[in-house]
Each structure stands twice: as C-alpha cells, then as structure tokens.
Structure 1
C-alpha cells in the first residue's frame, strides 16, 4: 500500500463519527426502562472519554425534532430543540413538571422512568452525544 493510500484510510477513519444513531425499540414497562438505562450507562462508560463534557443522549422523534437528555445524580436535564417543542405537553403529563420559560427542562431524577415511558412510542432513534451545551444546568454524566 502506498503512503497516500494509508493517508486516505486514516482520513476516512477520522471522518467517521464515533457514535451512530441506534434505532429505537419501544419501552413498554418500567422494567424495560430500567434495563435500557443500565445498558446505556454501561455503553457510555465504555465509550465516553473521562475528559469529555456535554455528555448525553439525543432522541430523534419520529414526528419531528430532537430532544437532548443528560442525567446527573439528582436531576434529568432536557434540551428540547425548537422543532420538538410540540412535545412539551407530553413531558408535563409524564413528569408533572411545569414548562420552563426556555428550552431547558430540569426535572428531578426520580422522573426519568416516567419520562422515558412517555417519550418511548415517539422516539425514532437515540444517539450518544458529547460536547452538547446543556446550559448552566449541564453537568458531567459520570
């Protein structure tokens, strides 16, 4: 192989995204959600570098829009993109939360299971993200 061919392969590898969207399988019970959380946390611990910040999950909604989620020891932080703002009534119904003035929701950590059950039938895919700006509420994942 010529040096140029190696360089082209290296370029292709560096252009390839580290994380790829995963098709969503609907979660139907709290046990399904707990299993997804456990598997997802394990995957993130294996793949996310310790120095990375803005770590979370992007949920692409089938009807349109993206919701970014980050969890911490005591909170669930959602960044609801403008094209997904239609999801606000569902978030309020699933969690009992009040709608915030902006796009960032800060929910108690004990609302995670209800939130994922509520969103589950609307999610098309999930994607691990790093470097997302969760605003002043954002925290480290681990």
Structure 2
C-alpha cells in the first residue's frame, strides 16, 4: 500500500478509489489516510497538506484539516456540481467562495456522501488555498 517510497518525492501517487459503503469502511479509510498523511508531512516544505479527491464527473475537491480540527474543502470550479451533495451530507450551506469550512464531526458523513462520486485520490503536501484563513 505504501508504494510512495519508490517514487520521487515530488510525484503525487494517484490511487483508484474503492467505494465505501458504511461508517466502518469510512473510519478504516480515515485511519489509513491519517497514517499516509503523517508520512507525507515529514517531507521538506510540506504545507497545505491533505488529500485531493478527483471526481468521476469532473473536478477536484481538496480536503485539509486545520489545527482546531475543522475541515477545509477547496472545491474547484469544475467540481461545483457536487455542492448540493456537500450541503446534504454535512448540513452546511454552500459558502460564497469555493472554500468550505466544516466542523470536524462532519468528516464521516462527508466521505460517505462523496464515496460513490470519487474516481481517485492523492495525498497533497503543498496546496495553496485561495483564502487568507489558511
């Protein structure tokens, strides 16, 4: 699972997504993701780290957490079509910008809601948010 050791540090590994069907699957994925992210954060110049979800119908959603435990989502313009689902899954209204700030307790619902729409994922270590918050 950790084939990243064989590739140059600046080359992202895109992994196919396996649909998660229940909260147990999501929590197991979160645990695995956290381990992979901790390894990636040890690399030099790591900032703006998290995960990128490439969606099956176009666009990307970047997920990061801040030190307070909030979830930051950067929904690219090509992925705006997923906004109603994000609202339904988390109970948070769509913000006026492409940056969503969600409470940490919504992570499981968010991943479960997005699961069937994700094509691939990759760890990111230097994503620049278009906001002064991050």
TM-score (norm 2): 0.86
Asked whether the 8 Å contact 1:60–1:123 carries over to 2, the reply is yes
Provide the residue aligned with 1:10 in structure 2: none
Q: Which of 127, 130, 134 pairs up with 2:125?
A: 130
1:31 aligns with 2:19: no
- Gaps (5+ residues) in structure 2? 1-6
1:98 aligns with 2:98: no
CA RMSD of aligned residues (A): 1.6
TM-superposed deviation, 1:57: 0.6
State the alpha-carbon separation in 1 of the partners of residues 133 and 34 from structure 2. Answer: 20
Looking at secondary structure, tell me which structure has more helix per residue: 1
Higher mean alpha-carbon deviation, 95-104 vs 63-72, is at 63-72
Asked whether the 8 Å contact 2:59–2:79 carries over to 1, the reply is yes
* Structure of higher CA gyration radius: 1
Aligned-partner SS, 1:136: coil
- Gaps (5+ residues) in structure 1? 1-12
Provide the residue aligned with 1:61 in structure 2: 55
Aligned-partner SS, 2:132: helix
Q: Which of 102, 108, 113 pairs up with 1:107?
A: 102
Asked whether the 8 Å contact 2:40–2:125 carries over to 1, the reply is no
TM-superposed deviation, 1:74: 2.3
Q: Which runs of 4+ in 1 moved over 6 A?
A: none
Asked whether the 8 Å contact 2:49–2:64 carries over to 1, the reply is yes
Provide the residue aligned with 2:4 in structure 1: none
Aligned-partner SS, 1:137: coil
Higher mean alpha-carbon deviation, 81-90 vs 37-46, is at 37-46
